[in-house]
Amino acid sequence: MTKKTITINYTEYKSAAAMEPKDRELVEAALEARSGSYAPYSKFHVGAALRLVDGTIVKGANQENVAYPSGLCAERTAMFAAGANYPGVAFDTLAIVGANGDEVCEMPAAPCGGCRQVMAEYQRHFGRPLRVILIGTHAIYKFGKVEDLLPLIFDSLKVE
Ligand code: THU
Protein backbone atom coordinates (compact mmCIF):
# COMPACT_ATOMS: atom_id res chain seq x y z
CA MET A 1 0.00 0.00 0.00
CA THR A 2 1.25 3.49 -0.82
CA LYS A 3 -0.32 6.65 0.49
CA LYS A 4 -0.25 9.41 -2.10
CA THR A 5 -1.07 13.11 -2.16
CA ILE A 6 -2.42 15.21 -4.99
CA THR A 7 -1.45 18.87 -4.98
CA ILE A 8 -3.48 21.51 -6.75
CA ASN A 9 -2.20 24.96 -7.57
CA TYR A 10 -4.01 28.26 -7.76
CA THR A 11 -3.31 31.94 -7.33
CA GLU A 12 -5.30 34.12 -4.95
CA TYR A 13 -5.85 37.81 -5.65
CA LYS A 14 -7.33 40.26 -3.17
CA SER A 15 -9.15 42.01 -6.01
CA ALA A 16 -9.31 42.17 -9.80
CA ALA A 17 -7.11 45.29 -9.74
CA ALA A 18 -4.06 43.07 -9.27
CA MET A 19 -4.86 40.86 -12.27
CA GLU A 20 -3.59 41.18 -15.83
CA PRO A 21 -5.85 43.39 -18.02
CA LYS A 22 -7.43 40.59 -20.07
CA ASP A 23 -8.42 38.77 -16.87
CA ARG A 24 -9.76 41.98 -15.33
CA GLU A 25 -11.92 42.44 -18.42
CA LEU A 26 -13.22 38.88 -18.08
CA VAL A 27 -14.07 39.43 -14.40
CA GLU A 28 -16.11 42.49 -15.44
CA ALA A 29 -17.87 40.43 -18.13
CA ALA A 30 -18.77 37.69 -15.63
CA LEU A 31 -20.21 40.29 -13.24
CA GLU A 32 -22.27 41.73 -16.12
CA ALA A 33 -23.39 38.26 -17.19
CA ARG A 34 -25.35 37.87 -13.95
CA SER A 35 -28.04 40.09 -15.49
CA GLY A 36 -28.92 37.16 -17.76
CA SER A 37 -29.56 34.82 -14.84
CA TYR A 38 -33.05 33.34 -14.58
CA ALA A 39 -33.17 32.05 -11.01
CA PRO A 40 -36.69 32.52 -9.59
CA TYR A 41 -36.34 29.40 -7.42
CA SER A 42 -32.88 29.65 -5.83
CA LYS A 43 -32.41 33.43 -6.23
CA PHE A 44 -28.73 32.52 -6.69
CA HIS A 45 -27.54 34.46 -9.71
CA VAL A 46 -24.48 33.06 -11.43
CA GLY A 47 -22.60 34.81 -14.22
CA ALA A 48 -19.96 33.24 -16.44
CA ALA A 49 -17.72 34.76 -19.09
CA LEU A 50 -15.66 32.61 -21.42
CA ARG A 51 -12.76 34.04 -23.40
CA LEU A 52 -11.97 32.18 -26.62
CA VAL A 53 -8.45 32.13 -28.05
CA ASP A 54 -9.48 34.64 -30.74
CA GLY A 55 -10.48 37.12 -27.98
CA THR A 56 -14.24 36.65 -28.30
CA ILE A 57 -16.03 36.74 -24.94
CA VAL A 58 -19.12 34.52 -24.61
CA LYS A 59 -21.36 35.15 -21.60
CA GLY A 60 -23.56 32.69 -19.75
CA ALA A 61 -25.93 32.74 -16.77
CA ASN A 62 -27.83 30.06 -14.90
CA GLN A 63 -31.28 29.19 -16.25
CA GLU A 64 -33.70 27.52 -13.84
CA ASN A 65 -36.88 25.57 -14.47
CA VAL A 66 -39.86 24.58 -12.37
CA ALA A 67 -38.81 21.02 -13.20
CA TYR A 68 -35.50 21.57 -11.40
CA PRO A 69 -33.20 19.18 -13.32
CA SER A 70 -34.18 20.86 -16.59
CA GLY A 71 -32.28 24.01 -15.59
CA LEU A 72 -28.61 24.61 -16.36
CA CYS A 73 -25.62 26.22 -14.64
CA ALA A 74 -24.10 29.46 -15.89
CA GLU A 75 -20.79 27.83 -16.81
CA ARG A 76 -22.41 25.28 -19.07
CA THR A 77 -24.65 27.84 -20.79
CA ALA A 78 -21.47 29.79 -21.68
CA MET A 79 -19.46 26.76 -22.80
CA PHE A 80 -22.30 25.25 -24.83
CA ALA A 81 -23.11 28.62 -26.44
CA ALA A 82 -19.44 28.94 -27.44
CA GLY A 83 -19.32 25.37 -28.73
CA ALA A 84 -22.47 25.93 -30.75
CA ASN A 85 -21.68 29.39 -32.12
CA TYR A 86 -17.89 29.30 -32.50
CA PRO A 87 -17.16 25.68 -33.36
CA GLY A 88 -13.46 24.86 -33.45
CA VAL A 89 -12.38 28.02 -31.61
CA ALA A 90 -10.53 26.90 -28.47
CA PHE A 91 -11.43 28.09 -24.99
CA ASP A 92 -8.85 30.15 -23.12
CA THR A 93 -10.32 31.29 -19.78
CA LEU A 94 -13.65 30.89 -17.96
CA ALA A 95 -14.59 33.37 -15.21
CA ILE A 96 -17.43 32.62 -12.78
CA VAL A 97 -19.25 34.63 -10.14
CA GLY A 98 -22.15 33.78 -7.83
CA ALA A 99 -24.49 36.19 -6.06
CA ASN A 100 -27.35 35.90 -3.61
CA GLY A 101 -29.77 38.29 -5.25
CA ASP A 102 -27.56 41.28 -6.10
CA GLU A 103 -24.95 40.46 -3.43
CA VAL A 104 -21.85 38.90 -4.89
CA CYS A 105 -20.55 36.12 -2.60
CA GLU A 106 -17.62 37.13 -0.40
CA MET A 107 -15.68 33.95 -1.15
CA PRO A 108 -15.49 32.60 -4.71
CA ALA A 109 -18.35 30.27 -5.66
CA ALA A 110 -16.99 26.93 -6.81
CA PRO A 111 -18.36 25.28 -9.95
CA CYS A 112 -20.37 22.08 -9.57
CA GLY A 113 -18.95 18.71 -10.56
CA GLY A 114 -20.98 18.54 -13.76
CA CYS A 115 -19.56 21.86 -14.98
CA ARG A 116 -16.02 20.76 -14.11
CA GLN A 117 -16.52 17.63 -16.21
CA VAL A 118 -17.71 19.76 -19.15
CA MET A 119 -14.65 22.02 -18.74
CA ALA A 120 -12.48 18.89 -18.83
CA GLU A 121 -14.12 17.75 -22.06
CA TYR A 122 -13.42 21.00 -23.91
CA GLN A 123 -9.90 21.19 -22.52
CA ARG A 124 -9.20 17.70 -23.87
CA HIS A 125 -10.98 18.45 -27.15
CA PHE A 126 -8.95 21.60 -27.81
CA GLY A 127 -5.70 20.15 -26.44
CA ARG A 128 -4.80 23.25 -24.45
CA PRO A 129 -5.26 24.25 -20.80
CA LEU A 130 -8.50 25.97 -19.89
CA ARG A 131 -7.81 28.63 -17.28
CA VAL A 132 -10.53 29.22 -14.67
CA ILE A 133 -11.18 32.30 -12.53
CA LEU A 134 -13.51 32.14 -9.50
CA ILE A 135 -14.66 35.54 -8.30
CA GLY A 136 -15.62 36.70 -4.81
CA THR A 137 -15.61 40.16 -3.23
CA HIS A 138 -12.97 39.10 -0.66
CA ALA A 139 -10.85 36.91 -2.93
CA ILE A 140 -10.39 35.83 -6.53
CA TYR A 141 -8.87 32.44 -7.38
CA LYS A 142 -7.12 31.71 -10.66
CA PHE A 143 -6.50 28.14 -11.81
CA GLY A 144 -4.17 27.41 -14.71
CA LYS A 145 -5.89 24.23 -15.86
CA VAL A 146 -8.96 22.09 -15.17
CA GLU A 147 -6.92 19.38 -13.38
CA ASP A 148 -6.48 21.87 -10.53
CA LEU A 149 -10.27 21.84 -10.04
CA LEU A 150 -10.87 18.23 -11.01
CA PRO A 151 -8.02 15.88 -10.15
CA LEU A 152 -8.14 12.35 -11.60
CA ILE A 153 -10.34 13.44 -14.51
CA PHE A 154 -12.37 10.71 -16.18
CA ASP A 155 -11.08 10.56 -19.73
CA SER A 156 -10.54 6.88 -20.24
CA LEU A 157 -13.03 6.41 -23.09
CA LYS A 158 -11.04 6.14 -26.28
CA VAL A 159 -13.63 7.95 -28.37
CA GLU A 160 -11.31 10.10 -30.47
N1 THU B 1 -25.29 27.05 -10.34
C2 THU B 1 -24.50 27.50 -11.36
O3 THU B 1 -24.95 28.25 -12.23
N4 THU B 1 -23.21 27.05 -11.40
C5 THU B 1 -22.66 26.18 -10.52
O6 THU B 1 -21.54 25.74 -10.71
C7 THU B 1 -23.42 25.76 -9.34
C8 THU B 1 -24.84 26.18 -9.29
C9 THU B 1 -26.68 27.50 -10.31
C10 THU B 1 -27.66 26.40 -10.55
C11 THU B 1 -28.90 26.94 -9.89
O12 THU B 1 -29.57 27.77 -10.81
C13 THU B 1 -28.36 27.80 -8.76
O14 THU B 1 -26.99 28.02 -9.05
C15 THU B 1 -28.49 27.20 -7.39
O16 THU B 1 -27.91 25.94 -7.34
Alpha carbon 19 to its chain's center: 17
CA distances from 122 to 31, 99, 153, 154 (A): 23, 26, 12, 13
Known active-site residue 121: no
How many Å lie between the centroid of ligand 1 and the Cα of residue 2?
37
Choosing from 75, 106, 121, 160, the catalytic residue is 75
Closest C-alpha residue for ligand 1 atom 2: 73
CB atoms within 10 A of CB 81: 15
Label residue 154 by pLDDT band (50, 70, 90): confident
- Higher-scoring residue by pLDDT: 16, 160: 16
Torsion angle of C-alpha atoms 136, 138, 144, 148, degrees rounded to 10: -80
Rounded to an integer, the average pLDDT of 51-68 is 98
CB atoms within 10 A of CB 1: 2
Evaluate if pTM is beyond 0.85: yes
Question: Is the confidence at residue 160, as pLDDT, over 80?
Answer: no
Percent of the chain with pLDDT over 70: 98
Closest by alpha carbon to 76, among 51, 50, 99, 104? Answer: 50
Rounded to an integer, the average pLDDT of 105-126 is 97
Question: Is the confidence at residue 20, as pLDDT, over 90?
Answer: yes
Question: Is the confidence at residue 158, as pLDDT, over 90?
Answer: no
Residue 48: per-residue pLDDT? 98
Closest C-alpha residue for ligand 1 atom 6: 111
Label residue 91 by pLDDT band (50, 70, 90): very high
Residue 19: per-residue pLDDT? 98
Domains of the chain: 11-148 (3.40.140.10)
Question: Is the confidence at residue 52, as pLDDT, over 80?
Answer: yes
Question: Is the confidence at residue 153, as pLDDT, over 60?
Answer: yes
